[in-house]
Structure 1
C-alpha cells in the first residue's frame, strides 16, 4: 500500500511538473550503431496494430523486439516489422520475439517500450521498464488500481524517465480548444460536467473454453486470478476486435476506465485538475444494478456526472456550455449555439476543424491560459524522448485521470459515498483501503 511519504512525493513531483518544464538529463538512450532509439513492443493485440504502425513511420525509431504470451501474435508482428524494414531498406537484423516481457524490459540495448497489454499488466511491466532505464509509452488507463498509479509516478521520478500515457484525445485540437475555452472563463464558472462513457465492469463470468495451442494462459492472467480461458477475454488467433477483458473487474475496469480514461481525462484537463482530482464520490442509489448516475465532485463545487448519450464530454457553465467528442464540437453561450459541428449527418456546410478554428479566433485571441499543444500523441512521445521534457500526458496526468476513473468505479462496485483526499491519495471517509490495491497472484507484486 502507498505510504504517506509516497503520497507526498507524488503531489510534490506533480506540483514541480506544473511549475516548470521537467527536463531530464540528456542522452539517456543506448545510441545503437545507427544512432536510433531502439524499442520493444509488449502486448500484441488489436490496439498494438495501430501503435506499432505509427512508430515504424519514425526514422529515429528502430523496432527490435516484440512480446506476447501467444505465439500466433508474436509471429504476426515479427513479420509485420521484418516486412516493413525489408521494404524500406532499414533494420538488417530480424525482429526478435519473446513470450516474457522481462526479456525486453531488462535488455540493456533497448531504450524504450510500448505497452498495450490488458490493464492488469500495465503497472508491473511499466515499472520493470522504468527501473531498467527505459522510457515508456503505455496505453490508457495507466493502471488497474490506485496503488499502482502512485507507484508508477514514483518510479518515473526515481529513474528520471519519460512516460507517455495513450490518452490521445489530448493531441486532438477540438479537445484542447474546448478545455482552453473552459479554462479561460468563456462559459463562466463551471457548475457541472456530463460525460458518456459506457458501463461499469462486472466480475468475470465467461465459461471455460478449450485453450488454443501456443497461448501461455497462466502468464496472460499473471497477477490477476487464474480464470478459465475464454475467447471473449483473449481472441483466438490474430486479435481483430477489442476483446472483452476490459469489461471485467479482474482485468479491466469496464468502460469507466476504458472510455473514462479519455473523457474523465478531458474533464480534469478542462477543470485544471491534472495531478489532482475529485474530493468526493456519490454513488447511484441502486448501485448494484445502476449503469449510470455516479458522480465525482471537485473542490470548486463542480459535479462530474456519468450520463447516457454518445461518447463525449460537456462542460456546463454559468454563461454557456462546451460539448466535445471525437470529430464533434459545440460552443453555446446564453442558450444559443455559437459554433458547432455535430457530425456530417447533422451539420452541413462546415466541419469540426472550421468551427473549432472560429471559436479559437473569436474567444481565445487574448487567452490567459494556454494548454500544452500536441498534434499527435506518439510524435509528442518521440520528441520528448529526445528533448527529455515532460510529454502531454506524462505519468502524473495519466495517474490522476486513472485514479478518478477508479474512484467512480467504487461508487458502482461498493455503493460508496466517499470523501477523498486527492493529494494524499487516501480516504477521508466512506472507503476501505483494500480497494486501493488488489490481491496479486503468485510472485507478481506492485
Structure 2
C-alpha cells in the first residue's frame, strides 16, 4: 500500500477509535485489569508495550505518539514499524480474543499526552518519550491521579527531577523508573556482595559508560518534517531546532535540547547500581568534577564524546564515571575487586560470583520482572524497586558534571539539601529551566479545558 493512502486510512480509523473509546471510559475497579496508557512509541516504547500487553493484570487502553508511522533511524519501510499506528495494530492483534469475548475495554489513540493522562480508562501512564518530555508527561499523569512507569533518565533537567520527586510524595503515586538492571539477578547479587562486606572496605568504584557520538549519526540535511509527524509538539518545551534525521529518532540525545548524550542515557543504569550498593538511594556525592571532556567536531551535537566525572562520597569512597572505564560497575575493596555488567559478573575471587556463595544476611529485594514489580506495587500501594527519588539521585552526578564542565571547576555538593556549596553561579545554572514560552507552565498545568 502506498504510504499516503496508508496514512489516510489509518487517520480515519484512529478518529473512529478515539470517538468510540472516549464515550466508553470506565476506570478499572480493584478486581479488574488496570488500564495502561503508553506515551512514546519508538523502540523503547514498543519494548514496554510488549511487556505490558502480556501482563495478566493490565490491559493497554490508550496509546499516544506525535508520529503516526516511522522506522526509527532506518530508511522508509526497512525494519520494524513504529509510531502510533503500528502500536495500535500490535495491541489489537494481541487482544483479539478479548475483543471477541467482550472483555476488551477499547483503545484510545491520541497525539496529545494530556488527553491520555486525563482519560478515566487509564490507571497507569507509561512514559517512553525522549528525555525532554519526561517531566511534562509525568507531571500531567500525577496531577490526574495516575501511577507512573517512566523511562530513565527520570528527567532531562535537575530541577524537573526535584519537582517530580515532590509531586510523587504529595500525590502518593506509585512510581517506577525504567532502571531495569535492578531487576536483574546478576546486579542484585553484586549489590548483596558489596553490602555484606565481602570485598572488605570499599575504596573506589569505576562506573563504565559508552562513549558519546563522535560524528553525526544520520543525515544532517535540514528539511521539512516528514508527513505524519507533529514536529512542533515533538520539540515541545525545548528549542525547535531545524529538522534533520541526525537529531531525530534514535539520535536526538546527542543534542542538549532533547537529551544529555550517551552520558545521561547510561548513568541511570550503572551509576544507579553503584549508589544502590552504597545505600545512597536518598544521598549522593560530596564533590563532583568533570575532567577530560571532549566534544564532537560538529555543531549537530553538543554532548560529550569522551568524558570522566570524579566523585567523592562522605564515607570516603571515590568514584569515576567514564567512557574510559570498562562498561558496567566495578568495586575495589580491601579484599579484592568485583565487576558486573549485563550478562556477566567477575571478581578477583571466583568463589564470590558462584551462585551458591552466601554473601551474608543483608539482601536486596529479589525481583525478576521490573514491570511486574511495578504492577504488584500499584495493587498493594507499595514502593517499587526504582522509585522517583532513587532515579533522580542516581543521575544527579551527571547534572552536576555538566555544570562543572561549563564552569571548569569542581563542585562541592550538599546531598541532603541538594545545593551546591558556596557557589551561587553553579547552583543557579544547575536549577535553570528555560522552556519555550508556550510551555512555561509545563509543570503546573491542570487538566485541559478544551
Q: TM-score range by the shorter chain?
A: 0.7 to 0.9
Residue 221 (str. 1) matches residue 235 (str. 2): yes
Residues 17-32 of structure 1: pairs in structure 2 closer than 5 A: 30-31=27-28
Give the equivalent residue in structure 1 for 2:329: 313
Task: Give aligned pairs, total.
Answer: 388
Residues 10-21 of structure 1: pairs in structure 2 closer than 5 A: none
Give the equivalent residue in structure 1 for 2:345: 329
The whole-number CA distance in structure 2 between the counterparts of 1:310 and 1:37 is 41
Structure 2 counterpart of 1:232, from 218, 243, 246: 246
Give the equivalent residue in structure 1 for 2:8: none
Which one is further off, 116-125 or 275-284?
A: 275-284
Give the equivalent residue in structure 2 for 1:295: 310
The answer as to whether partners of 1:196 and 1:311 remain within 8 angstroms in 2 is yes
Structure 1 residue matching 2:413: 3-state secondary structure: strand
Structure 1 counterpart of 2:377, from 353, 372, 384: 384
Structure 2 residue matching 1:330: 3-state secondary structure: strand
Q: Deviations over 1:380-413 (max 9, x none)?
A: 0011010110000011211111223322333344
Which one is further off, 142-151 or 199-208?
A: 199-208
Q: Deviations over 1:103-145 (max 9, x none)?
A: 0111233111100000011011101101110000000000111
Classify 1:99/1:201 alpha carbon distance in 2 versus 1 (closer, same or farther; 3 Å).
same
Q: Which consecutive segments of 4 or more residues in structure 1 shift more than 4 A? A: 87-91, 200-207, 285-290
Structure 1 residue matching 2:245: 3-state secondary structure: coil
Q: Deviations over 1:212-263 (max 9, x none)?
A: 011110110001101111223334xxxxxxx011222111111221111100
The answer as to whether partners of 2:270 and 2:329 remain within 8 angstroms in 1 is yes
CA-based RMSD of the aligned residues comes to: 2.4
Structure 2 counterpart of 1:436, from 427, 431, 434: 431
Structure 2 counterpart of 1:42, from 39, 44, 47: 39
**TM-score, normalization by structure 2:** 0.81
**TM-score, normalization by structure 1:** 0.82
The whole-number CA distance in structure 1 between the counterparts of 2:247 and 2:305 is 24
Gaps of 5+ in 1: 1-28, 236-242, 340-354
The whole-number CA distance in structure 1 between the counterparts of 2:257 and 2:428 is 18
Q: Report the alpha carbon displacement of residue 310 of structure 1 after superposing the two structures with TM.
A: 4.2
Give the equivalent residue in structure 2 for 1:70: 67
The whole-number CA distance in structure 2 between the counterparts of 1:232 and 1:285 is 25
Give the equivalent residue in structure 2 for 1:122: 134
The answer as to whether partners of 2:61 and 2:107 remain within 8 angstroms in 1 is yes
Residue 425 (str. 1) matches residue 418 (str. 2): yes
The whole-number CA distance in structure 2 between the counterparts of 1:428 and 1:140 is 27
The whole-number CA distance in structure 2 between the counterparts of 1:174 and 1:164 is 20
Which one is further off, 205-214 or 302-311?
A: 205-214
The answer as to whether partners of 1:149 and 1:403 remain within 8 angstroms in 2 is no
Structure 2 residue matching 1:357: 3-state secondary structure: coil
Give the equivalent residue in structure 2 for 1:397: 390
Structure 1 residue matching 2:37: 3-state secondary structure: strand
Structure with the bigger RCO (C-alpha within 8 Å, sep 6+) is 1
Structure 2 counterpart of 1:81, from 84, 91, 95: 91
The whole-number CA distance in structure 2 between the counterparts of 1:406 and 1:116 is 20
Q: Report the alpha carbon displacement of residue 292 of structure 1 after superposing the two structures with TM.
A: 2.9
Structure 1 residue matching 2:119: 3-state secondary structure: coil
Which one is further off, 148-157 or 395-404?
A: 395-404
Q: Report the alpha carbon displacement of residue 416 of structure 1 after superposing the two structures with TM.
A: 3.3
The answer as to whether partners of 1:202 and 1:249 remain within 8 angstroms in 2 is no
Structure 2 residue matching 1:144: 3-state secondary structure: coil
Give the equivalent residue in structure 2 for 1:279: 286
The answer as to whether partners of 1:311 and 1:325 remain within 8 angstroms in 2 is yes
Classify 1:98/1:416 alpha carbon distance in 2 versus 1 (closer, same or farther; 3 Å).
farther
Residue 256 (str. 1) matches residue 256 (str. 2): no
Classify 1:34/1:270 alpha carbon distance in 2 versus 1 (closer, same or farther; 3 Å).
closer
Give the equivalent residue in structure 2 for 1:57: 54
The whole-number CA distance in structure 1 between the counterparts of 2:387 and 2:354 is 25
Give the equivalent residue in structure 2 for 1:342: none
